[in-house]
Amino acid sequence: MSRDNILHKVRTALGRSAGQAVAPPPPVRLRIPEVPMEARIESFIARLEALAGKAVRVATMDDAREFVALAIAGKTAAASNAPYLAECGITGLPGVRSGIRDLGELREVCAEVDIGITSADYMLGDTGTLVTIASPAEARLMSLLPPAHMAVVPKERMLTGLDELFTLAPHPAEITSSMVLITGPSRTADIEQILVRGVHGPGNVTVVIVG
């Protein structure tokens, strides 16, 4: 079947004729519910834990640093270049590789360490999702390649959900090569629906909510 024939059938099915202008897209409908911060956090934790992720609340950045130090004791770890991790003192912890800019070195380090430590640009309370906008400060490999991922995020970055996210970042393709949404540990299932975690990404995800 020729290309013109195929396009004619598509146009006919849509009730359009050749040369007819494409109708403008419908208006974007975003609805941001009014959800108190504590309710957002409680929902985030419940959703994440339902997917076998782990969430921890700490009061201060110093508490976050101490938690991470204990969690990585005896293990190897690398941290992203997120300014918030440096503010918490996490990038300066003994045994934490950080400040990596070269892509080849980043790939090698992420393939070797036990834990990748990042922050996140946002959290979505209704689904327990981390949102990371890929950049030199937050490379995708750090959250995707190591077998365990730990994210340290201030509670002020907790949003209600996707609608609120897209009011803050309506055109993500204009600011980044990718916006990564991480909802719990990586999981997949074969044709027999046997669930396996950690196949396409970290098998363990821990979110440290600060504040």
Three state DSSP letters for 47-102: HHHHCCCEEEEECCHHHHHHHHHHHCCCCCEEECCCHHHHHHCCCCCCCEECCCCC
Looking from the CA of 165 toward its CB, the CA atoms found within 13 Å total 21
- DSSP-derived secondary structure for 119-158: --SEEETTTTEEEEE-BTTB-HHHHHSSSEEEEEEEGGGE
72 part of a folded domain: yes
Residue range(s) defining the domain that contains residue 118: 36-210
Comparing 142 with 198, the larger pLDDT belongs to 142
Question: What does the angle CA 206 – CA 146 – CA 92 come to, to the nearest 5 degrees?
Answer: 70
153 part of a folded domain: yes
Over residues 13-38, the pLDDT tens digits come to: 888 888 888 778 888 788 899 999 99
**Mean pLDDT score, 128-133:** 96
Percentage of the chain exceeding pLDDT 70: 94
Six token digits for residue 74: 């005896």
Comparing 82 with 21, the larger pLDDT belongs to 82
Over residues 191-210, the pLDDT tens digits come to: 777 766 656 678 899 999 99
How many Å apart are CA 32 and CA 165, to the nearest integer? 9
14 part of a folded domain: no
C-beta separation of 94 from 58 below 8 A: no
183 part of a folded domain: yes
Over residues 43-73, the pLDDT tens digits come to: 999 999 999 999 999 999 999 999 999 999 9
Six token digits for residue 141: 């490999």
28 part of a folded domain: no
Name the residue type at position 183: T
Over residues 94-110, the pLDDT tens digits come to: 999 999 999 999 999 99
Query: What are the b/e assignments for 15-50, b being 16+ CB within 10 Å?
Result: eeeeeeeeeeeeeeeeeeeebeeeebbebbbebbee
11 part of a folded domain: no
20 part of a folded domain: no
- Partnered with residue 159 across adjacent β-strands are 124
pLDDT of amino acid 76: 97
CATH number of the domain that 42 lies in? 3.40.50.10420
123 part of a folded domain: yes
Instruction: Give the total number of structural domains in the chain.
Output: 1
